[in-house]
Structure 1
Amino acid sequence: MSWLNDLYETYEENAEQAGKIQRTNYGKEIVLLPVSHAYQNAQIEVTITTKGDFYSAKVIPKEEAPTVIPVTISSAGRTSKPAPHGLHDGLQYVAGDYEAYGGVYKQANSYQQYIAQLEKWCQSDFAHPSVQSILIYLKKGNLIEDLVQERIMFEKDHQLIPKWSKELESEFGEKPPLFNVLSGDQTTAFIRFSIHEPGKSNRPLWGDIEIIDSFVNYYSDELPKAGLDYVTGRILPLTENHPSKVRYGGDMAKIISGNDTVNFTYRGRFSDKNQVASISYEASQKGHNALKWLIAKQGYIIDGRVFLTWGKAEVPSPQASSYDLFAGFYAEDEGAESLVTNDTTHQQFSELLKKALKGYSVNLAYHAPVHIMILDAATPGRMGILYHRSIEKEQYFRRIEAWHQTCFWRHTYGMKNKERYTFWGAPSLRDIAESAYGARANDTLVKNTINELFPCVVDGKNIPVNIVRSLLQRASNPVSMENWEWQKTLSIACAVMKKHFNFKEEEKNVALDKNETDRNYLFGRMLAVADVLEERALYKAGIKRSTNAIRYMNAFSSHPVTTWKIIQANLIPYQARLRNKGGFYQMLLDEIGASFKIEDYSDKALNGKYLLGYYSQRAELNKKPEEKTED
């Protein structure tokens, strides 16, 4: 239960934020839920007067649907068994005329249970006048009738219309807004309440601090018998029912569940689920609410899988690119601008990186932990923790730094204000995954690949060979993709190859190394010279097409000597067209050829180092003034 304890402590550290609305950088509203509260997507808002009469109602747009609601132990994780929430709830709970309009209770009468529970709150020492107004209205039992008269809900022959069809347009007009926000029929609508006071704006009863405190104080007196809490080590009221809706309002997957007494959840090892672990209501609520808050605030979600990193202050995510890391720290500072607009060396990058990481780290106490968690749901009702680590900040920042230092290359695929920019450093884990698998990279494959790469950043493990091979294969096949995609794939592949081979660790830059004698690097240089030579000749002739070096790149990576003979033969007319400059390229090829050891000049397949040689040699040729294509 270390993960739950980490989250419990996070809640305690941020307890003053509970119930307060915050906004993310993208304008999204988030709330650290108080104890005994949860998020729920609502579709209808009903406004009641202080005297308990119907005032108005409206359909809630999807972007405004998330609602903070009071919940009980039973209702926080309810499935098919009726368990009313504290105030806002589904139509079958709050509508006394539910059956009269065609609704069918699956088990017990949900409305009666809801009213009985709400009455207990209103009769307690912690009752609130606004809640009492809601109770007065709902006991009248005509909510659906009022919603039909308000043309929020629609009935035919005194039965709620299950689904909208074109045939109904002649009778009711255009498709009503409610049918655009519901995933099921009208009986599945969730209702939230507000209060109307004459001369004042309507008062929402969700997220209201007075209502929140009223329910928390009331429900605290209703908690069950206490026992040993495995999370805090204290004697506290326990719970067997744990919250769902962890990732979003409609998420029914639970991290902790033990309701399968027939199959193999715990049979054969324990006779009772509490023998596995007993967890207090407080620890469960605070831990899960902290997790929901963190996911909404800074979680990275792809295809339902959550990648989350947090600490007592902002920390860089393992999946972020170097540009993301710098942008998060420097903002519009000149340091970040120099990183993305000017040529740079690894020394300059290293200095900026250390400065940025120190800036993140300074807000964390010495030895403060950094927590990392990956979550996903195997089924709609069960969620698993795929990865969880708590690391001291010093170790975490060392590993983040090591990743960005060693998976370092020059990238030109970023977009800022609709313009492409260059940045130096490590690509994001998602970009690596998408470049490794291209068009085949559906969300499932991408999230699984990111999952494989996370330990490479956090634990310093080697990049999986399957990812390295896939990047090598795709980067060696430029004719299979558009030029922009290949350029992106090539630079990302170079970064990964540099990391994979620990290439030139002592220099750590992208510049051409003329002293390197590795056969793969040398063959890559030769291919780059051939590519630039033919490209310049084609440009001079006004011809736009791929060079032979690009066309034969895939074959060259598998059989370099055999393929080079073909490429070299095709170069002859282009060398002649360039005249004196053709001689320059030939001298360069001779110089590279002389660097080979005789036994290395073979048809053995090339590894990823050849991409480094290709990229660096091509970049070197393109930056020489006398070799520009405009000549």
Structure 2
Amino acid sequence: MSWLSRLYQTYEAVSNNPDAQLNHALMPFYHVKQNVQIIVTISDKGDFISARLTRDGNGKLKSQVTTIPATNDSATRTSSPVAHPLADKLQYVGKDFFAKSKNKKDLFALYEQTLTDWCNSPFSHPKSQAVLHYVQKGTLTQDLIDEGIVIADDTGSLAYPSNASDYPESILSLLIKNGGEFDQGSAFIAWEVMDSDIAQADITTWGDESLFTAWQNYYASFDSKEGFCHITGETAPLASKHPNRVLKSASNAKLISANDMSGFTFLGRFTDDDKSIAKQGYQAVNISATVTEKAHSALAWLLTNQGHEESGQAVVAWAVDGSKLPQPFKPILSQETVETVIQETIEDELADDELDEFAEIGESEKVDEHDEQPTKREHHKDIGSRFAHGLKKAMQGYRQKLPNHEQISVISLDSATPGRMAVTYYYEAMPDDYIEAMEDWYENFAWYAFYFDKETNQRHMTIQAPTPYQIAVSAYGLRLPDAVKKQVVSQVLPVIVEGHHRQIPKSIVDLCVKRACNPLGLENWEWEQNLSVACGLYRGYFNRLKSDKKRSYTVALQEDYTSRDYLYGRLLATAENLEGYALYVAGETRTTTAQRYMQQFANRPFSTWRNIELALDPYIKRLNNNRPEFLRSREKLLNDIMSKFEIQDFNNDSALSGEFLLGYHSQKMAFELARQANQDKNTAEKSAEIN
């Protein structure tokens, strides 16, 4: 139960630290969020003052999200009528609603009984008493009609319009049509209570901390069985029920459930029954009502504030004080930050002035057209090293914000059924260990990637480590079942948060590599993402092996690396670039021979390369006539790569490992970086000419 203890501690810490609640307010326990459409203002004596429809800051009609007291049953109500204790729908709080509506059942009695019991208890509150006095008068519906808040027909009863446009700027704009008509009884009502004797700082019921506390103390008294709480170590009223509404996608799912008093499906070694529980509590573990409510409220807040939820599975990492942490399911550095790193690198590149926008340069040497002798050019700086430097700066920022003694927790939840939820993974670490593990993942598994900027409608290159969900899609495709996606995330999550102590499963790496070798079977954007994920996983897998098997691959092109598989990958990328440019010059957009043969090339590189090389002949002739400088640079690069092969390695026709993807993609990205550098230089020169 350490996760429950940490969540309880988090609630206590965050509730006393307003700065930790800048984006999402920590929910008070025994309360829920609710969309409200009508706000009614009354006096502390229970007299009606005014009513209004909710609006946003611009004065437009919009439902208002407020915090309201709730019972365990009302918080999870569906079709069965259960009343909230204070704020609720008009059909519950209006005593005269039933007589003025088409409802088949009067629900006011449920609401009145719940509110009366609270007001008659030692934990009553002046605002709740004022609301009770007013609703018992039975004039709420008529007051709303008189104020023009709700719409009545000619007989004075509530109307059931079918067209909201017939009543502009009305309550209908805030309601959802049900059965072809608008039921105004579904409008949710919240209260404001004004004290006639003193000026109140806050007349609302949804912002009054004393009202929250009064309801919490009252409702906690229902679990009146005193016992030893295993979380606090103190004697307190024990919880007989535990909250749900933790996950948005499975709001009825519970982490703790104890209702197996018949059938004994999950009873196991325990012999609990209703009588023994009432007398001595549960045999397994006792948790106080306050602790379980606070812990569940903290978990829901954490998931909303900094967690991630998808298909009933949720993951969040947090510190007890509520500080923001790097999360294991998304990149640490923003795409714009990483793109700046790339931009700084390509600004250092030399570009050939005579090549047009598509004429990319990837070799470390280029031919000078005057003396036809190779001249050295500055090699591009290691983008991976620059990315690592930016990463370290970001992680250092997190380290400075976290106290050294602060505990870091990571939890993964999964809702297999609508009513049950489980903790599938829980891990605790000290701040330095967690930051180091996250840094290790994003540094060792980082690779080139592309993203699409919706605002500018442009495609940009970045560097990032794949997320667990990207890995799942790359391994099994876009249409993978939720169960498979959850399984992959469960396998990858420990690899991220536990650092070099955990290795990425080789089976996942192999699946991603296999799918990345088949560009014709996927949309181009999907294949590019798969290729990026496969390269990142393969690189990270070998970076984490023991010293005798470890291979230190870099993100940038390793021109001095002479591995057979890596060199074959570079050959394929260069052939693809050469043919692609020839097609570009001719105005053609079809797939290159290298892409069509990629899967076959991965299985039989030596024999397949011969076919690719022969297919390049017409494109070489075309470029020799149109772009001889570009052709000479590419032919030189092909010769340079070929010269690095050992003869026996080049003639080896056995299948290539995933390493060939690293050589292939690094060479492609070297071309892309040079293209960007050349394009930026041309843009700068044109701008200078204009100025």
TM class, shorter-length: 0.7 to 0.9
1:407 maps to 445
Cα separation, 2, equivalents of 1:202 and 1:394: 43
2:328 maps to 318
Cα separation, 2, equivalents of 1:155 and 1:297: 45
Could you tell me whether the CA contact under 8 Å between 2:253 and 2:417 is conserved in 1?
yes
Q: Tell me the matched-pair count.
A: 611
Could you tell me whether the CA contact under 8 Å between 2:314 and 2:412 is conserved in 1?
yes
Give the CA deviation at 1:240.
0.8
1:331 maps to none
Structure 2 counterpart of 1:341, one-letter code? Q
The one of 327, 340, 345 equivalent to 2:383 is 345
2:51 maps to 56
SS at match of 1:239: coil
2:668 maps to 618
Give the CA deviation at 1:564.
2.2
In structure 2, the CA distance between the partners of 1:133 and 1:619, relative to structure 1 (3 Å rule), is closer
2:359 maps to none
In structure 2, the CA distance between the partners of 1:378 and 1:356, relative to structure 1 (3 Å rule), is same
Give the CA deviation at 1:316.
0.6
1:330 maps to none
Could you tell me whether the CA contact under 8 Å between 1:236 and 1:280 is conserved in 2?
yes
Give the CA deviation at 1:145.
4.9
1:501 maps to 542
1:176 maps to 172
Cα separation, 2, equivalents of 1:182 and 1:446: 36
CA deviation string 1:450-477 (max 9, x = no partner)? 3432122013433344543443244323
2:137 maps to 140
The one of 539, 557, 564 equivalent to 2:584 is 539
SS at match of 2:238: strand
Report the more deviating stretch, 471-480 or 547-556.
471-480
1:40 aligns with 2:42: no
SS at match of 1:205: coil
Report the more deviating stretch, 290-299 or 359-368.
359-368
1:300 aligns with 2:308: yes
Could you tell me whether the CA contact under 8 Å between 2:175 and 2:187 is conserved in 1?
no
In structure 2, the CA distance between the partners of 1:454 and 1:515, relative to structure 1 (3 Å rule), is same
Could you tell me whether the CA contact under 8 Å between 1:307 and 1:375 is conserved in 2?
yes
Gaps of 5+ in 1: 25-29, 328-334
Give the CA deviation at 1:591.
4.6
In structure 2, the CA distance between the partners of 1:557 and 1:322, relative to structure 1 (3 Å rule), is farther
CA RMSD in angstroms, aligned pairs only: 4.2
Could you tell me whether the CA contact under 8 Å between 1:144 and 1:153 is conserved in 2?
no
Cα separation, 1, equivalents of 2:80 and 2:668: 67
Could you tell me whether the CA contact under 8 Å between 1:81 and 1:107 is conserved in 2?
no
Could you tell me whether the CA contact under 8 Å between 2:466 and 2:533 is conserved in 1?
yes
TM-score by length of 1: 0.82
TM-score by length of 2: 0.76
Cα separation, 2, equivalents of 1:148 and 1:570: 82
Cα separation, 2, equivalents of 1:347 and 1:153: 67
Cα separation, 2, equivalents of 1:294 and 1:563: 53
In structure 2, the CA distance between the partners of 1:260 and 1:89, relative to structure 1 (3 Å rule), is farther
Give the CA deviation at 1:263.
3.3
The one of 536, 548, 553 equivalent to 2:593 is 548
Structure 2 counterpart of 1:314, one-letter code? K
Give the CA deviation at 1:370.
0.9
Give the CA deviation at 1:197.
7.4
2:648 maps to 598
Give the CA deviation at 1:104.
5.6
Could you tell me whether the CA contact under 8 Å between 1:92 and 1:105 is conserved in 2?
no
Report the more deviating stretch, 186-195 or 109-118.
186-195
1:211 aligns with 2:211: yes
Could you tell me whether the CA contact under 8 Å between 2:92 and 2:111 is conserved in 1?
yes
The one of 282, 286, 298 equivalent to 1:290 is 298
Structure 1 counterpart of 2:231, one-letter code? V
Cα separation, 1, equivalents of 2:155 and 2:646: 89
Greater gyration radius: 2
1:357 maps to 395
SS at match of 1:31: coil
Cα separation, 2, equivalents of 1:486 and 1:339: 24
CA deviation string 1:18-74 (max 9, x = no partner)? 8x99442xxxxx222334433334454333344424432536889744321224566
1:332 maps to none
Identity %: 35
SS at match of 2:324: coil
Structure 1 counterpart of 2:261, one-letter code? T
CA deviation string 1:108-133 (max 9, x = no partner)? 95134224224315xx47532x3332
Give the CA deviation at 1:281.
1.1
The one of 193, 196, 207 equivalent to 1:195 is 193
1:423-442, aligned counterparts within 5 Å? 423-440=462-479
Give the CA deviation at 1:360.
0.5
